[in-house]
């Protein structure tokens, strides 16, 4: 199939942006718009790993060798691959050392994910060109790392197009740029010292809009003058030239679509981005509320709730926040994003239930879960518990009962085996599956947690006490109503799902209180005199979300190769030890 007519149609629609030479010569490569869940974390990541610098007086932009990376919170549907902007590129004088540095960071925490070549390597030396490799930032932006001492820092933007030659001609006609050949191997355009390169795509790429790189930007000195010329040539604007709501300056911006679905922003000189609105902050001070009643007269706690807004609240108050009453919305966003990246390993954003912009509620500004003791710190361990914890730390990793490698599934934690997260662990917010469904009937409350799909049926009327020898994974729960609060006391744990070292001696008291139409406060008090020198209490809140959220099946092992791979890895390590004579 001859794709040239399609390309020409695209060019005809948008190619006259600044076709007159005076404006074309004035156009300049300006910015890359990256969809990130927390702008400040995007800046921090590129500062730490790509040697960029924060832009003064802004928390949403990084200066990468004269090119701005602008990070904006908005829903996204995947990485740059498959779109009209395949990747961006950075150059380093010693790429072998740089890739080793990034590989050492790993995908957890900072979220540096390396793309390996078919032979498993992360680097490839292309004769006559340079060494190169690929990584992904935590938000799905593909980054080519190259070793080109002639042009260090932000190096290029690499487009995908059905007709690369026509695409380069279009960009030069519209924005100027110098025709050049990179190392005599790749034809492209130079804008000062930034390359625009194009690879051939087998089919028309997907739109960049809504992907990890939403658009790229070029600047002109007078957008109105350019717009007049565009209209005379028949160009259609995706967004007309205007000063957008929240614009930091009076500079205007317009959007067009370039060849092969690349979204392009054209901005006036002086453009400094847009201040984006945030989701409504989770309230800490609520108005008086009359809790609705069930038909049989009990406080109605029923519905689907989520702990998404509480994700990333630390259990204990950080030492550095000893005098902090609450985080700012910006600080809460950054903390949420660090928690998301630290919990999900290298998954794309569509796997992250707590990604900013995906849920209705903003992250909680609560400093810590522990509310008693007042300092927000868990009380000291007893001497015996401290000694036991030290001995356990010396025996192996991660709480497993035997050192790695594991002999069988029994050596792995309950969570990995999809048995239980225990109490109160099952109530804690995580990276995903934070749904909580409460159903009530006369004399009973059923609480189902989405993660591992555990359901607790809690009696709210007195019943005969059970003997101390009848124990279970989640203990024996007895509920009662204290005004509008459901109080649940749980004992008789079997000790096989301990919480921070507390097992069969734990007494857990939970308090569920509806504070508003969409707010459920959850308090938990831990009392185990064999582990801690005094009881302590934590608190966080759930948000009601019957309209958007529903609990999905937690199919933990179906199609999951984790257990098989963990144990096969253990056998491989054992075989390696035998071969090495250990």
pLDDT tens column, 481-502: 999 999 999 999 999 999 999 9
pLDDT at 557 over 90: no
Query: Across 55-59, 240-244, 349-353, 389-393, which has the greatest mean pLDDT?
Result: 240-244
Between CA 478 and CA 500 the distance in angstroms is 23
Q: Mean pLDDT throughout 330-339?
A: 84
Between CA 198 and CA 189 the distance in angstroms is 9
What radius of gyration do the chain's Cα atoms show?
Answer: 28
Of 30-34, 168-172, 533-537, the least confident: 30-34
Whether residue 373 is preceded by a cis peptide bond, meaning omega within 30 degrees of 0, is yes
CB atoms within 10 A of CB 516: 16
First to last CA, the chain: 62
Q: Report the percentage of the chain scoring pLDDT > 90.
A: 55
- pLDDT of 159 reads 96
CB atoms within 10 A of CB 84: 29
SS3 assignment for 370-419 = EEECCCCCCCCECHHHHHHHHHHHHHCCCCCCCCCCCCCHHHCCCCCCCC
Between CA 93 and CA 122 the distance in angstroms is 17
- pLDDT of 555 reads 80
Q: Which residue has the higher pLDDT, 78 or 88?
A: 88
Between CA 216 and CA 264 the distance in angstroms is 5
- pLDDT of 499 reads 95
Contact (Cβ atoms closer than 8 angstroms) between residue 332 and residue 363: yes
- pLDDT of 400 reads 44
- pLDDT of 4 reads 26
In 3-state terms, what secondary structure has residue 114? strand
Q: Report the percentage of the chain scoring pLDDT > 70.
A: 87
- pLDDT of 18 reads 31
- pLDDT of 502 reads 95
Between CA 278 and CA 333 the distance in angstroms is 9
With b meaning 16 or more CB within 10 Å and e meaning fewer, what string describes 167-183?
bbbbbebbbbbeeeebe
- pLDDT of 544 reads 94
- pLDDT of 105 reads 81
Region of 399 please: left (phi>0), alpha (psi -120 to 50) or beta.
left
Q: Mean pLDDT throughout 551-577?
A: 85
- pLDDT of 95 reads 96
β-strands 213-220, 263-268 pairing:
parallel
Q: What rounded mean pLDDT belongs to the chain?
A: 86
Whether residue 405 is preceded by a cis peptide bond, meaning omega within 30 degrees of 0, is yes
Q: Mean pLDDT throughout 566-577?
A: 90
Residues 6+ apart with CB under 8 A from 209: 215, 263
- pLDDT of 582 reads 64
Nearest of 242, 254, 359, 253 to residue 312 by alpha carbon: 359
Q: Mean pLDDT throughout 244-248?
A: 92
DSSP state of 283: P
Phi, psi of 425 (to 5 degrees): -55, -35
pLDDT at 510 over 90: yes
- pLDDT of 20 reads 33
Reading the block at residue 436, the tokens are: 């909580």
Per DSSP, helices labelled H in 156-242 are 164-175, 223-232
- pLDDT of 75 reads 67
Q: Mean pLDDT throughout 14-24?
A: 33
Residues 6+ apart with CB under 8 A from 366: 284, 310, 313, 326, 327, 540, 541
Between CA 185 and CA 160 the distance in angstroms is 17
Reading the block at residue 490, the tokens are: 């749980």
User: pLDDT by residue (tens digit) across 274-325?
Assistant: 887 655 555 555 788 999 999 999 999 999 999 999 998 999 999 999 999 9
User: pLDDT by residue (tens digit) across 27-86?
Assistant: 676 778 888 778 888 899 999 999 999 998 888 999 998 899 998 877 667 788 899 999
26 vs 158, 176, 178, CA distance in Å?
Answer: 22, 8, 12
pLDDT band at 109 (very low <50, low <70, confident <90, very high): low
pLDDT at 530 over 60: yes
- pLDDT of 283 reads 52
329-344 vs 39-50: helix crossing angle, rounded to 10? 60
DSSP states of 457-473: EEE-S--PPPPTT--BT
- pLDDT of 231 reads 76
Between CA 17 and CA 219 the distance in angstroms is 11
Of 91-95, 232-236, 488-492, 519-523, the least confident: 232-236
- pLDDT of 79 reads 84
What the chain holds in terms of domains, given with CATH numbers, is 4-104+148-268 (3.10.180.10), 303-544 (no CATH)
User: pTM here?
Assistant: 0.76
Contact (Cβ atoms closer than 8 angstroms) between residue 256 and residue 207: no
Q: Mean pLDDT throughout 464-468?
A: 80
Contact (Cβ atoms closer than 8 angstroms) between residue 140 and residue 349: yes
Residues 6+ apart with CB under 8 A from 77: 210, 211, 350
- pLDDT of 63 reads 93
Reading the block at residue 312, the tokens are: 């990333």
- pLDDT of 399 reads 43
């Amino acid at each position: 199939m001859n794709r040239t007519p399609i390309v020409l149609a695209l060019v005809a629609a948008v190619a006259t942006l600044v076709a007159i030479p005076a404006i074309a010569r004035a156009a300049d490569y300006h910015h890359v718009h990256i969809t990130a869940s927390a702008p400040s974390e995007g800046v921090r990541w590129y500062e730490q790993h790509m040697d960029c610098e924060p832009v003064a007086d802004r928390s949403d932009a990084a200066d990468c060798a004269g090119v701005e990376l602008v990070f904006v919170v908005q829903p996204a549907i995947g990485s740059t691959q498959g779109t009209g902007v395949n990747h961006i590129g950075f150059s380093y004088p010693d790429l072998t050392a740089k890739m080793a540095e990034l590989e050492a960071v790993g995908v957890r925490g900072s979220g540096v994910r390396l793309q390996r070549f078919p032979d498993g390597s992360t680097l490839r030396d292309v004769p006559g060109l340079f060494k190169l490799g690929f990584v992904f930032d935590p938000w799905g932006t593909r980054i080519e790392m190259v070793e080109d001492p002639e042009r260090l820092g932000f190096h290029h933007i690499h487009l995908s197009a059905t007709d690369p030659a026509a695409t380069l001609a279009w960009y030069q006609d519209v924005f100027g740029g110098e025709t050049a050949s990179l190392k005599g191997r790749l034809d492209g355009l130079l804008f000062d010292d930034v390359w625009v390169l194009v690879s051939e795509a087998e089919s028309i790429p997907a739109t960049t809009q809504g992907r990890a790189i939403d658009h790229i930007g070029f600047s002109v000195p007078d957008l109105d003058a350019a717009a007049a010329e565009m209209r005379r040539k028949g160009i259609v604007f995706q967004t007309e030239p205007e000063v957008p709501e929240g614009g930091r300056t009076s500079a205007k911006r317009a959007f067009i679509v370039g060849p092969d679905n690349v979204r392009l922003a054209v901005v006036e000189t002086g453009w400094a981005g847009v201040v984006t609105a945030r989701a409504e902050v989770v309230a800490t001070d609520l108005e008086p509320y009359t809790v609705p009643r069930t038909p049989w007269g009990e406080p109605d706690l029923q519905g689907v709730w989520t702990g998404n807004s509480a994700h990333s609240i630390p259990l204990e108050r950080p030492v550095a926040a000893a005098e902090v009453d609450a985080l700012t919305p910006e600080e809460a966003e950054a903390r949420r994003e660090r928690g998301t990246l630290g919990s999900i390993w290298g998954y794309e954003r569509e796997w992250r239930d707590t990604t900013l912009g995906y849920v209705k509620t903003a992250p909680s500004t609560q400093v810590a879960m522990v509310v008693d003791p007042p300092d927000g710190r868990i009380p000291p361990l007893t001497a015996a518990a401290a000694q036991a914890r030290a001995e356990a730390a010396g025996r192996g990793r991660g709480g497993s009962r035997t050192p790695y490698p594991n002999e069988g599934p029994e050596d792995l934690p309950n969570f990995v085996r999809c048995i239980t997260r225990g109490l109160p662990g099952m109530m804690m917010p995580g990276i995903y599956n934070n749904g909580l469904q409460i159903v009530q009937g006369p004399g009973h409350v059923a609480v189902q947690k989405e993660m591992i799909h555990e359901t607790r049926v809690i009696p709210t009327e007195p019943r005969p006490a059970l003997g101390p020898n009848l124990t279970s994974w989640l203990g024996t729960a007895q509920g009662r109503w204290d005004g509008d609060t459901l109080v649940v006391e749980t004992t008789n744990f079997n000790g096989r799902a301990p919480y921070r070292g507390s097992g069969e001696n734990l007494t857990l008291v939970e308090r569920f209180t509806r504070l508003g139409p969409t707010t459920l406060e959850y308090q938990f008090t831990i009392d185990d005199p064999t582990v801690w020198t005094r009881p302590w209490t934590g608190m966080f809140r759930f948000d009601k979300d019957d309209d958007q959220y529903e609990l999905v099946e937690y199919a933990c092992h179906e199609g999951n190769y984790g257990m098989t791979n963990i144990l096969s890895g253990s056998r491989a390590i054992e075989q390696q030890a035998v071969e090495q004579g250990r």
